[in-house]
Amino acid sequence: MSSLGLSCTANELIATEITANYEVLFLDLFENIDKDHEWNPNIELGKRITWLGDQSDIAYHAMSDFWILKGRDMLAARIWRKLGDSIMMAGRSVEYSLAPLVVNKIRSITFYPHVPISGSGLKKAETSLASGRFSMVQNRPDKCLVEYLICCDLKGWIPKPLTDAVMGKLLLSDAANLRKRAQQTASTQ
User: CB under 8 Å to 17, separation ≥6 — which residues?
Assistant: 137, 143, 144, 145, 146
DSSP for 94-129, please give it.
Answer: ---TTSPPPTTSEEEE---TT-PPSSTT--EEEEEE
CB 137 within 8 A of CB 145: yes
The pLDDT value recorded for residue 109 is 54
Q: Does 10 or 88 have the greater pLDDT score?
A: 88
The pLDDT value recorded for residue 164 is 76
32 confidence band (pLDDT: 50, 70, 90): very high
Coil, strand or helix at 64: coil
Domain boundary assignment for the chain: 10-187
Query: What are the pLDDT digits (tens) for 58-116?
Result: 988 888 887 777 777 778 889 999 999 999 999 888 877 666 556 566 665 544 433 34
Q: What is the mean pLDDT of residues 16-43?
A: 93
Give strand pairing partners of 60.
Answer: 47, 75
Q: Does 43 or 10 have the greater pLDDT score?
A: 43
Give the span between the Cα atoms of 50 and 48, in whole angstroms: 6
Q: Does 158 or 15 have the greater pLDDT score?
A: 15
Q: How many residues in total does the chain contain?
A: 189
Neighbours of 110 (CB within 10 A): 22
The whole-model pTM stands at: 0.79
Instruction: Give the DSSP H or E segment for 44.
Output: strand 43-53
Query: What are the pLDDT digits (tens) for 44-60?
Result: 888 898 999 999 999 88
Coil, strand or helix at 138: coil
The pLDDT value recorded for residue 14 is 82
CB 64 within 8 A of CB 79: no
- Indicate if the pLDDT at residue 10 is higher than 50: yes
CATH class of segment(s) 10-187 = alpha beta
Query: What are the pLDDT digits (tens) for 120-150?
Result: 444 456 667 789 999 999 989 999 999 988 8
